[in-house]
Structure 1
Amino acid sequence: MTIERARNPHPIYFAGAFATGGLLTFMVHLNGELARYGNPLFSSWTAHGTGIIAAIILLLIVRRRRVLTTGKLPGAPWWAYFGGVSGAATVILTSTAVNSPLGLSGTLALGLAGQVAFSVAADSWGLFGLQKRRPDTRDVTALGLVVTGAALIILFGRGAA
């Protein structure tokens, strides 16, 4: 992918990312409700159990259409298998935080700030096989704006004490 193409992605990617944010908000809300009526561990088990059932159905559908490939596909790196652990921890922690004074918007604002901060660090250190990239002024400014926005939502939003 060229640098110019990376700077000017197709609008469908923006729409997809925006839709994903909406689905993430809905998921965090539903997991928080499950945790309120049960507990965060129940919420995580329910979310991941539902995901397993959906994945099995999807795999059965895709498997029927799949054409056999020649040759062996490369295996995933060892650290990729920890995605499930971090996913379970994310559900447990967000389910707990949503039911705290942070509420849904505060939980998601801090989650976004954490995602941006970790992404900048992963780029900077070349984690997970990423190419090392020094954070530039735009990265630091974006991180500062996200953290400031999260602070505004938490300190001055409707749920602020």
Structure 2
Amino acid sequence: MIGRSADWLSALAAGALLAVMIACNGLLAKHSAPVFASWAAHGTGAAAALLLVAGWSRIFKRQEAGTQKKGPAWAYLGGVPGALTVVLAAITTNSPLALSGTIAFMLVGQVIFGMAMDCFGLFGVAKRPFAATDVAVVALVLSGSVLLTFGGR
């Protein structure tokens, strides 16, 4: 149970950091351009990742060379959707959707595509059969997103 709680807390922290990232990138895009904001975000992200890798390898013993499994070649392209996400989020954050609407509809897209990935085992994820309750989940998340975005007008 403790491991599962740590997973949930990590996911919540990632969601909060995603909101901070989108807000910062949206502000930078407002004062420059969405593509520049994406470039700046990924440049600083790469620098931060290098520092984390260097620190991690010093704290934990390095695995011997050749013992790590290599992923499929397409797995190294994960930064491409990340860059497009940053650009699109920077554009929509500065639109009438604002930050909360952008994040709400990004969540809808993530849930729907995540369920499809689980159902079909896309990109090597573990298969999870589609359940009838999944439709209710999508409907509730979508209706909550619509209420959040358009309910106060």
Q: Give the alignment's TM-score, normalised by structure 1.
A: 0.85
- Is 47-56 or 33-42 further displaced after alignment? 47-56
Partner Cα distance (1:135, 1:152) in 2: 26
Q: Please give the root-mean-square deviation of Cα atoms over the aligned residues, in Å.
A: 1.9
Structure 1's unaligned 5+ residue stretches are none
Give runs of ≥4 in structure 1 deviating > 4 Å. Answer: none
Q: Which residue of 1 aligns with 2:39?
A: 45
1:137 aligns with 2:129: no
Q: Partners in 2 of 1:96 and 1:70 — Cα distance?
A: 43
Summarize the Cα distance change of 1:19–1:62 in structure 2 as closer, same or farther, 3 Å threshold.
closer
Question: For structure 2, which runs of at least 5 residues remain unmatched after alignment?
Answer: none
After superposition, the C-alpha distances for 1:85-141 in whole angstroms (9 at most, x for unaligned) are 001000000000000010001100000000000011111122012343321122221
Count of residue correspondences: 152
Report SS of the residue matched to 1:67. coil
Shift of 1:142: 1.1
| Aligned counterpart, 1:74 | 69
CA distance, structure 2, for counterparts of residue 71 and residue 98 of structure 1: 44
Identical amino acids, percent of aligned pairs:
43
Q: Deviations over 1:5-34 (max 9, x none)?
A: 7xx963222222212211111110000000
Q: Does 1:62 align with 2:60?
A: no
Pairing partner for 1:117 from 98, 112, 119: 112
Matched residue, 2:80? 85
Q: Give the 3 Å change call, closer, same or farther, for CA 130–57 of structure 1 in structure 2.
A: closer
SS of the residue 1:75 aligns to = coil
Please point out which of 91, 95, 99 is paired with 1:96: 91
Partner Cα separation in structure 2 for residue 17 and residue 61 of structure 1: 22
Query: Partners in 2 of 1:99 and 1:42 — Cα distance?
Result: 15
Partners in 2 of 1:17 and 1:59 — Cα distance? 21
